[in-house]
Amino acid sequence: MSMDLLKTPITRRRFLQATGTAGALGVVGAGTLPNFATLTEAQATTGKSSGQTVITKSFCHQCPARCGIDVYTTDGRVHAVYGTLDNPLSNGKLCPKGHYGQYLLYDADRFKGPMKRTNPKKGRNEDPKFVPISWDEALDTLAKRLNNLRDKGESHRFGLLFGRGWGATDADLFKDWSALYGSPNIGINHSSMCSDASKKAKLCVDGNYSYNSYDYANTNYILNFGAGFLDAFRPYNFNMQVWGHMRTKSPRTKVTVVDVHTNTTGAAADRSLLIKPGTDGAMALAIAHVILTEGLWDKSFVGNFADGVNRFKSGDAVAAVFTDEDIRNRAQAKEKAAAEKVAADKVAAEKAEAEKAKTQEALAKLLKEQLLAKGNPAAEKAVAEKILKFEKAEAKKALSEKIDREQREALDKDKKPEPEIKAGQAIFNEKWVHGLPEWWNAVLKDCTPQWAETITTIRAKDIIAVAREFATTRPAIALFERGATAHTNGTYNGMAIHSLNALVGSMFAEGGLFYQMKTPWGKLPDKAEDFMDDYAKSPDRKKPRIDKVKTADWPMASNMMQEIAKNHNEAKPYKMDTVMFYLTGPIFSGPDCFAWEKMLGETFVVDTSPYPDETAVFADLVLPDHTYLERLQVASTYPFQGYPMAMIRTPAVKPLYDTKVFGDMLIDLGKRIKGPMGEYYKKVGNTENIIKAIAKGFEEKPGDNGVNGYESFREKGVWFKKPYHWRQIRGEFYEWDKGTKSYSKRMTAEGVKEKLLMTPSGKFEFKAGYLEDEHYVHYIVEKLGIPAEKVGFPQYIPASHAGGGDLHMVSPKLALQAEGRSANLPHATASMQPSVGGRKTVYLEIHPDTAAKRGIKDGDRVRVKSSVGAIEVTARIYGGIRPDTVALPMIHGHWGMGRWTKNSGVSGSTNEVTPNVSEPISGLACYHSGKVFVEKV
Amino acid sequence: MAKWGMVIDLEKCTGCQACTVACGMENNRLPGENWQDVIFFTEGMYPSAQLKWFPRPCQQCENPSCVAVCPTRATYKTEDGVVLVDWNRCIGCKYCMVACPYGVRFYTDEKPLVAPDMRKVHDSHDSHSWNPPWKMPDAREDWKHGVGIQPHDVVSKCTFCYHRISKAPPGTPDLDPQDPKLREFTPACVVTCAPGARFFGDLSNPNSEVSRMIGDKRGVRLLDQLGNKPQVYYLTGDGGAVPSNRAINKKV
C-alpha cells in the first residue's frame, strides 16, 4: 500500500489517471492476440511497476446483497477486495465470499473469448471441441438464427433464461427485447428456483410481492424459521454486522431458530428447535393460538374485542357480532357489579363511621387526661405532647385520604366511557388487520400447541415458551425463508409465519419489518415501443410462455424455469429452438436436472458465462461475459434498510480476455435484428449510455453522500437517501416529515392502502383476498384440496414428499459458497467448515442413529438415491441433525465447471436426487421436500 | 514501543471465516494454508448437540516456544511484540512447528489440500514457491518479516499483517478499521470482521480499548497454563468458551 495514497485524498482527477494507467497496462492489445491471451502474458504486460495502488469502487457479485467493495489494484494487478467504508451496507466489512474477487478474476479456467462448437454430438461426456471465433462471427451467427426464426414466425422459440439480474444493464433490457423481437420467453428468471414463495406469502397477507427490509438493529427478538441468517441469508454481511450489535446491546436481542439441522445460525441462537421438515406453518399457527388465547397480541395494531373481554379460548369459536343475549348478559353483569359496589360502599361507610367514633373516643380520653393533669406541669407537658402527636397523626391520615380521593376522582375523570355495545355490532374491532375472528374460527381455534407437537415434533411447552417470549419481547421479528417455504405447502407456511409479525404489531414499526423503496433512476431517451414493427405487434405473437406461467397450469406463478426442460421435451406448448443462458445453470441447479440434458442436447444453446460450466458442455456458442471486477454495471439494492440505495461497478482492470459485458452483447445482438428493432439498439448504443442516462436521476435527487450524477456515482460507488419514508407507531401510520425530521405526518387509511398494506382491504389480511380471487380460488381448491371457503386463511396443510425414500433431504447453501462458482475455487473448498465439509469435499450430514441402522460409519462412502437418480458422497455422522433427515450442501458434484471440481468427492448435483415438484401458488421448486434412501456403497 | 495485541469477542463471532479468507487474500496464502483459521467442533446429539467454532490466529506469545527452539534465529520476536519468521534465515527444520502449542505454523511444501496443486497452475520461475496473478504489490514483499510469497522449504505464519501494523503512526492506542486514517494499518482479519468481534491495539498503552476490554470483560488466553502468555485474548461472554484440548471420536 502506497502511503501517498493514504495521506492524500484521492481526487477525481487522480482517480481517473490512475485507472487509466491500470487499464493501459491491463491486457490484450486488440488485434494482436485475438482470443487466447494467457495469464502469464497478461502479467508480462504489467511488468512496469509504478507501485501506485488504485482503489476502484464496485459491488460484490457473490450473493444478491450487493455490498460495496473497494478493489485494490497495483501495477494493473488486482490483489485485494475489501468492503467500502462509507457504504451503508458493507460499512467497510465483507463476508468471506466477498474476498474471492481476485480469484474469480484470475480464474485459470476462464473462457478467453467467443467460441463455437464443432462437435455436433452433445452429451455430458462429449467434448464440444470449441474453436475460437470473433465477436462479429459469434453475434452474426446468433442474429442470423434469430432473424430466421422471425422470418418463419417462430420467434417465440428463442428463449433467454437468467438468474441473478442486476438491473438496468441486463435484466431490465429483457422486457423491451422480448416485445421488439416477439418472444414471451426472453427474460424468464430463476425466481421460482430461488425464493418466490417468500414473496408470494407476503403478497397474500400484506399485498407486497417482495422480500422484506428488517430493522434488526432495533429488534429485541428474532424468531427465525429456516433462514440461514448466519449462513447464507442476504444480506449476509450486514446480518453479521448487526448480529454483533444485537448480541451485545442492552437488552440483548434474543434469537430462536427453527430448522431441520443445527447450522451456524442455530448454533449461535439462544434456542435451536429441530422441526419436522415442511411443518413450520403448524408451529407458527400454534404460536398465534397462544398469543391470542393469552391476550398477548398488539391491541394498537391489531385491535381488540369491543368490550375488552378476550374470547379466544382453545376450541371455541368467536361470534362475529354481539347478540341480544350478549347484551342481556352484559346488562346483568353491569347490574350485578353495581349491586356489588353498593354493598361494598355500605361496608366501607360503616367502617369509616366506626373509625371516626374510635378517633373521637381517643380524643375524649386525651382531653380527660388533660383535665386530670392540670396543676402538675410534668403531666401537663406529657399530655400536651400526646395530644400534639395525636393531632399530627390525624392530620396525616386526613391528607392521605384527601390525596386518595383526589386521585380516584382524577382517574374517574380520565376513564374512557364504557363502550356502548349494541346487538349486531362486531365483537372484535379490527384496526389494521382483516379477518382475525374468521381466521380464529376457521383455523386457529384448534391449533393448540399440543396439536402442533404431534405434527412438528416440537414440544408443546417449547412452542408456548417461544410464543410468550416472541409476543412479549417486542419489537419482535418473525423471519422465514426456504427452509419453511421450499415445500408443497410453502406459501401457506410463509403466510402463517408472516402473520405473527402482524399479531405483535411489527409491520412497518421500529424494530420490525417493512419494504424496500425504489431508486429514482432517470429515464432513457428513446422508447422501445416506438420501434415495434408489425411482426412484433401482431396478435400472432401472443404465445404462451414455454414455462406455462399464466396458463391454467401455473396461473399464479411469476416464473417456472424448472418446468422449461420438461415442457420442451414434451413439446407442450412447443419445442424451443435457441436458448441463451445468463447467470443461471438449471442443467446443474434445476430439480431433476436430467431433463435439461435432453433439452439442451436438441436445441441451439448459447452460454454467456465467463467460466466453463455444465451449460457450456452443451453449448453451441460461448459468448463469455466479463467477470464482475471488469464490468461497468449498476443495480438497486436488494431489500435492505428500506431507504433507496443504488450501486455501481466500475472496472478495476481492463478485461483480461476477449470478453464482452452481457448487456452489450444483448444490445449488439439487437442491432443485428432486421427492421426497427435494430435501429432502436443502434440508438441505445451500449450499456454505458444507459448508465449515464439513468444516473441523471441523481441530479434531481442527490444522495446523502453527495452523489449527484454519473461521475460522482463512479467515485463513491453508491447512492442512497435516508431515511425510510414510513413508520407505524402504536397503531398509527406516519410519513417522514422533512421539516421536523420525524415520522409525524399522519397517514389516512387510503394512504396506507396505496403505499404500504396493498391488499384489497388495505389491511393485513388473515383472510387473503388475493387467494380468494375468483381467478385463483378453484385452482387452489383443485391443487391443494382446501375447501373454497378456507383458501384465504393462513393454515397448515401437510406437505407431500416425492422421491420415494425414507429420509428427508435438504441441500443448504454454505457461508463460503459464492454464487455459482465456488466449487472451482480451491480457496473456498479448502476452508468449508468441517461439520459440513472441509479440505476437498462436502459431506452428507447424517444422525448417528440413522447411520448406525444402515451400518454407516463416519467417513464412509454412501449412495443417496431417489426416484430421480443417485449420487455418491461421503457421510459425516452429526448429532445436530434430525434422525429423519439428511443434509448435503448444494455446492459440489459439478461435471463441467473446471479443473478443481473434478475430484470433489460428490459424484453429482444434489438435483440428481431432487424431484421436480413445485408449490402450486408461488411455483417455488420444492428443493427441501424430497425423500431419499441412503445406503453404504 | 507498542506491544500489539488482539482481542476476539467470541460472543460476537459468527464463525463466518471472513477473517480466514481475508487473511488468505491479503497475505497470498495457498488454499487451506490458513494462518488465521476458524476451528469447528461438533459434539453430542440434539437437543444437546453443539456446533462451536473458535477463531485462531497466531497467538503472538510473549514467551514464544517457537523462538526458543529455532536453530537459525529465523523465528524472532519484534520490538513491537510480533513473532515473525525471516525467510532468509529459515531452513525449514520445522522445530518451531513442533514447539508451538497452538498449531499456527505452516511448512511451505506440503501436499496440496485441493488438487490440482495451485503452485503448479501458477508456477514461479524464480525463488518464490509460486506466483499467483493476484499476488500482493511487489514493493510490499518483505522476506525478513515473513511477508509476501515465501520461497520453498520455509515455515510461514500469521504476521499480525506486519506490513500494515508496522506503518501505523507511533503511539496509536488502537488500530480501529472504522477510522479511515487507521484502516490501512489494521490487520486484514480485523478490517473485515463483519460482527466486529476483533479488536487490535497496544496492550502496553493504558488508553487502548483492548487493554480496557481485557479487564472489563475478563479476557482469557488460550492454554494459559503453558506460560506462553499469548498476546491474543478471548472474551467469552455468554457466547462461547475457549475450547479445551480434546479429541472427538465420531465413530459410532
Write the CATH number for A195: 3.40.50.740
Instruction: Judge whether A460 lies within some domain.
Output: yes
Which residues does chain B have within 8 Å of residue A38's beta carbon, measured at their own beta carbons? Answer: none
Show Cβ contacts of residue A413 under 8 Å, excluding neighbours closer than 6 positions: none
Residue A6 has pLDDT above 70, yes or no: no
CA distance A619 to A622: 6
- Judged by phi (left if over 0) then psi (alpha if -120 to 50, else beta), residue A295 lies in left
Show Cβ contacts of residue A236 under 8 Å, excluding neighbours closer than 6 positions: A63, A65, A95, A97, A230, A815, B16
Same domain? A177 vs A288: no
DSSP type of residue B223: T
Tell me, what's the pLDDT at A600?
98
Which residues does chain A have within 8 Å of residue B47's beta carbon, measured at their own beta carbons? Answer: 272, 274
Instruction: Judge whether A406 lies within some domain.
Output: no
Same domain? A856 vs A929: yes
CA distance A490 to A279: 9
Instruction: Judge whether A611 lies within some domain.
Output: yes
Model confidence over B155-183: pLDDT tens digits? 999 999 999 999 999 999 999 999 999 99
Which residues does chain A have within 8 Å of residue B181's beta carbon, measured at their own beta carbons? Answer: 6
Same domain? A463 vs A535: no
pLDDT-derived band of residue A420, with 50, 70 and 90 as boundaries? confident
Strands, DSSP E only, in A269-363?
271-274, 303-305
Q: Which of A811, A833, A822, A842 is nearest to A900 (CA)?
A: A822
Overall domain count for chain A: 3
Q: C-alpha A171: how far from its chain's center?
A: 19
Domains annotated on chain B, with CATH: 4-235 (3.30.70.20)
In B, minimum Cα distance to A860 occurs at B251
Model confidence over A102-125: pLDDT tens digits? 999 999 999 999 999 999 999 999
**A80/B26 touch (CB, cutoff 8 Å), yes or no:** yes
pTM of the model: 0.91
Listed residues A585, A608, A623: the one ending a domain: A623
Show Cβ contacts of residue A366 under 8 Å, excluding neighbours closer than 6 positions: A383, A386, A387, A390
Cα angle at B163 between B159 and B164, to 5 degrees? 100
Residue A283 has pLDDT above 70, yes or no: yes
Tell me, what's the pLDDT at A840?
81
Which residues does chain A have within 8 Å of residue B139's beta carbon, measured at their own beta carbons? Answer: 2, 49, 51
Comparing CB atoms, the residue among B14, B25, B40 nearest residue A99 is: B25
**A247/B196 touch (CB, cutoff 8 Å), yes or no:** no
Tell me, what's the pLDDT at A330?
87
CA distance A864 to A935: 7
Same domain? A524 vs A499: no
Indicate the SS3 state at residue A60. coil
How many helices and strands, by DSSP H and E, does chain A display?
A: 33, 33
pLDDT-derived band of residue A593, with 50, 70 and 90 as boundaries? very high
Indicate the SS3 state at residue A327. helix
Same domain? A774 vs A792: yes
Instruction: Judge whether A879 lies within some domain.
Output: yes
The mean pLDDT value of chain A amounts to: 93
Same domain? A218 vs A202: no
Comparing CB atoms, the residue among A1, A857, A879 nearest residue B45 is: A879
Tell me, what's the pLDDT at B244?
56
Residue type, A188: I
Residues A376-403: what's their mean pLDDT? 90
Over A536-582, what HEC string results? HHCHHHCCCCCCCECCCCECCCCCCHHHHHHHHHHCCCCCCCEEEEE
CA distance A752 to A726: 9
What does each C-alpha distance from B239 to A226, B14, B65 come to in angstroms? 22, 10, 30
pLDDT-derived band of residue A37, with 50, 70 and 90 as boundaries? very low
Same domain? A929 vs A812: yes
Indicate the SS3 state at residue A353. helix
**B167/A3 touch (CB, cutoff 8 Å), yes or no:** yes
CA distance A430 to A320: 12
Same domain? A461 vs A527: no
Backbone angles phi, psi at A929, to 5 degrees: -105, -5
Indicate the SS3 state at residue A528. helix
CA distance A87 to A67: 8
Q: Which residue ranges of chain B lie beneath pLDDT 50? A: 245-252
Instruction: Judge whether A652 lies within some domain.
Output: no
Listed residues A748, A772, A799: the one ending a domain: A799
Cis peptide before A96 (omega within 30 of 0): no
Q: Does A867 or A18 have the greater pLDDT score?
A: A867
C-alpha grid cell for residue B69? 527452539
Distance from CA of A587 to the nearest CA of B (A): 25
Model confidence over A139-183: pLDDT tens digits? 999 999 999 999 999 999 999 999 999 999 999 999 999 999 999
**B14/A831 touch (CB, cutoff 8 Å), yes or no:** no
Residue A16 has pLDDT above 50, yes or no: no
In B, minimum Cα distance to A268 occurs at B14
Query: Which element (helix H / strand E) includes B40?
Result: strand B37-43
Which residues does chain A have within 8 Å of residue B12's beta carbon, measured at their own beta carbons? Answer: 243-244, 247-248
Instruction: Judge whether A174 lies within some domain.
Output: yes
Sign for the CA dihedral angle at A359, A361, A365, A370 comes to positive
Residue A20 has pLDDT above 50, yes or no: no
Residue type, A217: A
Same domain? A193 vs A297: no
Tell me, what's the pLDDT at A27?
35
Q: Which of A699, A627, A637, A695 is nearest to A108 (CA)?
A: A627
Tell me, what's the pLDDT at A24?
37
Same domain? A574 vs A604: yes
Residue A764: beta bridge partners? A433
Which residues does chain B have within 8 Å of residue A98's beta carbon, measured at their own beta carbons? Answer: 18, 192
Instruction: Judge whether A367 lies within some domain.
Output: no
CATH of the domain at A280: 3.40.228.10
CA distance A748 to A932: 53
What ipTM, to 2 d.p.?
Answer: 0.96
Q: Which of A913, A908, A905 is nearest to A896 (CA)?
A: A908
Domain boundaries, position A876: 807-936
Tell me, what's the pLDDT at A692?
97
Do A768 and A495 meet the contact criterion of CB atoms below 8 Å apart? yes
Same domain? A298 vs A438: yes
Comparing CB atoms, the residue among B114, B132, B197 nearest residue A829 is: B114
Distance from CA of A831 to the nearest CA of B (A): 6
CATH of the domain at A864: 2.40.40.20
Residue A12 has pLDDT above 80, yes or no: no
| % of residues, chain A, pLDDT over 90 | 85
CA distance A34 to A118: 19
Backbone angles phi, psi at A413, to 5 degrees: -65, -40
Residue A728: beta bridge partners? A733
Which residues does chain A have within 8 Å of residue B24's beta carbon, measured at their own beta carbons? Answer: 99, 827
Listed residues A764, A799, A834: the one ending a domain: A799
Same domain? A195 vs A125: yes
Comparing CB atoms, the residue among B135, B192, B250 nearest residue A93 is: B192
Instruction: Judge whether A509 lies within some domain.
Output: yes
Tell me, what's the pLDDT at A26?
35
